[in-house]
């Protein structure tokens, strides 16, 4: 959470920092600030509660000059979102300014020690503690800023991506990373710093990803220098990122979420491209081919993930158990990491993450690697921490997802999982050739089927009006569609703030059926051929109790059409792939309900796109 950005070069820093903050706002948006050193060496910090727009307003008439600066958009962890807790933080003497993404776990001990030394604190943050610790060490040791940062970080326990400026020095930024993302963009005699390369893609496509335990020293007119916490030079590679600016804009849509929903037919084409042959319907996934033996020998597959990625993993469980006959477990990364899990060297752990930066998923990967498992990543963000820390993997290639509610990442993840299951099943000889060909052919038509579903946009928008004032929703699905029910419920609650519960349809009668009445809309995802009759029984149980049903059905399903109050018909595909299109009406329903309720769809309250804290 939190976004950090920095700049040093010949241009005015402030507009670059503000633009970067706007792009990073998905990471947190409760307060924002900038620090710049002007030509006279003054270190100016401007910050306020609210969004980056509020900061821009606040900056009017202030000294925003300087060709060096750092900036921050916050998602509060320590201390309420207000002007004082906003970043950057000054050190006590106001000679140093610091921005921080992460959590300093031992900040209380450090703070007490600094108070003993006479330091005063203005904010409740752990970040101000680190800033003062750097100042204390700089004064005590009479050392350079970079050395003070290094010594301070050796005393710190926790996660951080920081950038530090000092008064009187407009030629240097010191930045460091531990478990929070950070990259350095390289320009012509200029440097950029960001939590996310996409935010600075306007200026450069050459990036260096800073690794955990590394400190980047950016000095004007000098090459980038990276050292580790032991003060040894660290080697680094320059990565070229192929990303277009248009992918980061709304492109005429009112919200990123709606743009991202409508992009899905194209993002699926990108996801499938080069992996499923249109001529032979063969699936080629290099990550599986390169690690054939690992997948053939796998005794168990464990998915680790969070949120929407966890829902996609539940579908991965069905796909792999059905087609590869390998036992699968699906774990919340946050539970897995603290449970002392039993992991064997012949386990394959699959980490699923859109951002590739989710702290719990990263921790789960590290535990699995330590236990000797082979770890495979399914990520979206190229070059992200999870992509780099896994042994191998497959990108979903759906492009930047900016709306906080995940949409195109889910469909990309499930699509990759279907290809993964086909590729592994083929290698293990567990998949029937007809089934293989049917799924592969359906994968090729997925984008056009999705376009057909999206044509129902205005009907779904009308339907959403009916339910804008509902207080609760229930979502039901069986088999593959249980995960779709969970995902539909999550979408609705996170952007509309309406309580919603996703359940396996058959579980309803074990308790939740007590909730059924005319006030409670029940969304039933009823597209599965395998469980069709059973789902009809569940619908009848709800109708018998006065419930109102919105059913997502296969085209031409007259039986459910007669029973449900509203239906959304979607084209037929094999059961394995139905979740990829069945989720579209649920994304649209959540979107329109949230819009009619006047919610901030792209930046819902209390949330951030990338959860880089525990
Ligand atoms: O980047 P990740 O896929 O690892 O993120 C996991 C969750 O934080 C994320 O899916 C979250 O639940 C979304 N807000 C859901 O829309």
- Does position 175 have pLDDT exceeding 70, yes or no? yes
412 vs 416: CA distance, rounded Å: 6
Q: Which of 47, 51, 449, 609 is catalytic?
A: 609
417 vs 411: CA distance, rounded Å: 10
Q: Are 84 and 76 in contact (CB under 8 A)?
A: no
Catalytic residue list contains 609: yes
Q: Are 129 and 111 in contact (CB under 8 A)?
A: yes
Q: How far is the CA of 608 from the centre of ligand 1 (A)?
A: 9
Short-list 375, 394, 387, CA closest to 302: 375
Range with the poorest average pLDDT among 13-17, 67-71, 84-88, 605-609: 605-609
As a whole number, mean pLDDT of residues 243-271 equals: 89
Q: Which of 2, 14, 271, 379 is catalytic?
A: 2
377 vs 1: CA distance, rounded Å: 21
- Pocket probe for ligand 1: among 255, 308, 494, the residue whose CB has the most ligand atoms within 8 Å is 308
The pLDDT-based confidence of 347 (bands split at 50, 70, 90) is very high
Rounded to 10 degrees, the C-alpha dihedral 595/597/602/606 comes to -170
Q: How far is CA 256 from CA 131, 460, 462, 593, in A?
A: 35, 18, 21, 16
- Does position 300 have pLDDT exceeding 70, yes or no? yes
Pocket of ligand 1 (CB under 6 A): 306-309, 353-355, 358, 361, 404-406, 490, 494, 610-611
As a whole number, mean pLDDT of residues 597-614 equals: 82
As a whole number, mean pLDDT of residues 427-439 equals: 96
Q: How far is the CA of 556 from the centre of ligand 1 (A)?
A: 34
Residues facing 183 on adjacent strands: 194, 209
| Cis, peptide link before residue 595, omega less than 30° from 0 | no
- Strands (E) in 59-168, as ranges, are 68-74, 89-90, 96-104, 158-166
Q: What is the pLDDT of residue 356?
A: 93
Q: How far is the CA of 190 from the centre of ligand 1 (A)?
A: 33
Point out the ligand 1 atom lying closest to the alpha carbon of residue 308: 10
Point out the ligand 1 atom lying closest to the alpha carbon of residue 406: 16
485 vs 311: CA distance, rounded Å: 9
Q: What is the pLDDT of residue 241?
A: 85
Closest C-alpha residue for ligand 1 atom 14? 405
85 vs 511: CA distance, rounded Å: 45
Residues facing 392 on adjacent strands: 376
What DSSP string runs through 121-140? -SSS-HHHHHHHHHHHHHHH
Point out the ligand 1 atom lying closest to the alpha carbon of residue 407: 16
The pLDDT-based confidence of 613 (bands split at 50, 70, 90) is low
259 vs 594: CA distance, rounded Å: 15
Q: How far is the CA of 306 from the centre of ligand 1 (A)?
A: 6
Residue bearing tokens 């990625």: 309
Point out the ligand 1 atom lying closest to the alpha carbon of residue 409: 3
Query: For 498-547, how does the pLDDT look when each residue is reduced to its tens digit (9 = 90+)?
Result: 999 999 988 888 988 888 888 899 999 999 888 888 889 999 989 988 89
Q: How far is the CA of 426 from the centre of ligand 1 (A)?
A: 31
What DSSP string runs through 283-298? B--HHHHTTHHHHHH-
Query: For 557-603, how does the pLDDT look when each residue is reduced to its tens digit (9 = 90+)?
Result: 999 999 999 999 999 999 999 999 999 999 999 999 999 999 999 98
Q: What is the pLDDT of residue 255?
A: 95
268 vs 443: CA distance, rounded Å: 9
Query: For 209-219, how does the pLDDT look when each residue is reduced to its tens digit (9 = 90+)?
Result: 999 999 999 99
More confident residue, 165 or 556: 165
Closest C-alpha residue for ligand 1 atom 7? 307
Range with the poorest average pLDDT among 36-45, 410-419, 516-525: 516-525
Q: How far is CA 192 from CA 90, 174, 208, 392, 402, in A?
A: 21, 12, 10, 29, 21
Range with the poorest average pLDDT among 171-185, 234-248, 251-265, 590-604: 234-248
**Residue 166 phi, psi dihedral angles, 5° rounding:** -135, 150
Q: How far is the CA of 314 from the centre of ligand 1 (A)?
A: 14
Q: What is the pLDDT of residue 607?
A: 80
- Pocket probe for ligand 1: among 354, 489, 491, the residue whose CB has the most ligand atoms within 8 Å is 354
Point out the ligand 1 atom lying closest to the alpha carbon of residue 404: 14
Closest C-alpha residue for ligand 1 atom 8? 307
Give the 3-state secondary structure of residue 465: helix
Closest C-alpha residue for ligand 1 atom 12? 307
Q: How far is the CA of 354 from the centre of ligand 1 (A)?
A: 7
Range with the poorest average pLDDT among 168-177, 296-305, 595-604: 595-604
More confident residue, 534 or 142: 142
Query: For 304-322, how does the pLDDT look when each residue is reduced to its tens digit (9 = 90+)?
Result: 999 999 999 999 999 999 9
The pLDDT-based confidence of 614 (bands split at 50, 70, 90) is low
- Pocket probe for ligand 1: among 330, 364, 488, 611, the residue whose CB has the most ligand atoms within 8 Å is 611
Q: How far is the CA of 206 from the centre of ligand 1 (A)?
A: 27
Point out the ligand 1 atom lying closest to the alpha carbon of residue 358: 4
């Amino acid at each position: 959470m939190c976004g950090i950005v920095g700049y040093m070069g010949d241009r005015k820093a402030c507009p670059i920092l503000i633009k970067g903050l706007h792009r990073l706002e998905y990471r947190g948006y409760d307060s924002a600030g900038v620090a710049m050193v002007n030509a006279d060496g003054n270190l100016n910090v401007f910050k306020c509660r609210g969004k980056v727009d509020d900061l821009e307003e606040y900056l009017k008439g202030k000294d925003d000059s300087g060709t060096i600066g750092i900036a921050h958009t916050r998602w509060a962890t320590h201390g309420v979102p207000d002007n004082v807790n906003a970043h950057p933080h000054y050190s006590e003497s106001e000679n140093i300014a610091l921005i921080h993404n992460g959590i300093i776990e031992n900040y209380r001990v450090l703070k007490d020690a600094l108070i003993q030394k006479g330091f005063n604190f203005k904010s409740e943050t752990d970040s101000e503690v680190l800033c003062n610790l750097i100042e204390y060490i700089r004064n005590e040791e009479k050392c350079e800023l970079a050395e003070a940062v290094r010594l301070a970080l050796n005393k710190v326990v926790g996660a951080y991506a920081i950038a530090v400026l000092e008064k009187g020095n407009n030629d240097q930024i010191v930045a460091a990373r531990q478990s929070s993302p950070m990259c350095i963009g390289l320009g012509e005699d200029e440097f950029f710093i960001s939590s996310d390369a996409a935010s600075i893609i306007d200026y450069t496509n050459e990036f260096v990803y800073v690794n955990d335990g590394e400190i980047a020293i950016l000095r004007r007119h000098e090459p980038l220098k990276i050292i580790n916490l032991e003060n040894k030079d660290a080697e680094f590679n320059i990565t070229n990122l192929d990303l277009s600016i248009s992918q980061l804009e709304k492109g005429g849509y009112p919200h990123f979420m709606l743009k991202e929903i409508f992009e899905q037919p194209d993002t699926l084409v990108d996801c499938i491209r080069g992996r499923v042959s249109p001529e032979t319907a063969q699936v080629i996934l290099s990550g599986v081919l390169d690690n054939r033996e690992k997948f053939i020998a796998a005794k168990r597959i464990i998915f680790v993930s969070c949120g929407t990625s966890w829902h996609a993993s539940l579908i991965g469980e069905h796909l792999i158990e059905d087609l590869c006959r390998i036992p699968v477990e699906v774990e919340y990364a946050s539970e897995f990491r603290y449970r002392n899990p039993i992991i064997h060297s012949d386990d394959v752990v699959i980490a699923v993450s859109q951002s590739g930066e989710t702290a719990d998923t990263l921790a789960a990967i590290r535990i699995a690697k330590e236990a000797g498992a082979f770890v495979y990543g399914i990520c979206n963000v190229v070059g992200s921490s999870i992509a780099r820390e896994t042994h191998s993997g497959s990108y979903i290639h759906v492009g930047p997802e900016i709306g906080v509610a995940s949409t195109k990442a889910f469909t990309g993840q499930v699509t990759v999982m279907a290809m993964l299951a086909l590729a592994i099943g083929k290698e293990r000889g567990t998949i029937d050739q007809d089934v293989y060909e049917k799924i592969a052919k359906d994968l090729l038509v997925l984008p056009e089927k999705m376009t057909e579903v999206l044509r129902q946009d205005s009907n779904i928008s009308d339907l959403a009006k009916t339910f804008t004032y509902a207080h609760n929703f229930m979502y039901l699905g069986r088999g593959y569609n249980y995960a779709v029910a969970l995902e539909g419920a999550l979408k609705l609650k996170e952007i509309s703030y309406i309580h919603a519960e996703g359940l396996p349809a058959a579980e309803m009668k074990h308790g939740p059926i007590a909730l059924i009445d005319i006030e409670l809309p029940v969304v039933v995802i009823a597209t599965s051929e395998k469980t069709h009759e059973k789902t009809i029984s569940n619908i009848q149980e709800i109708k018998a109790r006065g419930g109102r049903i919105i059913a997502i059905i296969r085209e031409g399903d007259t039986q459910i059409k007669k029973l449900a109050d509203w239906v959304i018909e979607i084209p037929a595909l094999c059961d394995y792939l139905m979740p990829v299109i069945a989720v579209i009406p649920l994304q649209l329903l959540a979107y329109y309900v949230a819009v009619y309720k006047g919610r901030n769809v792209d930046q819902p309250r209390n949330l951030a796109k990338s959860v880089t804290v525990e």
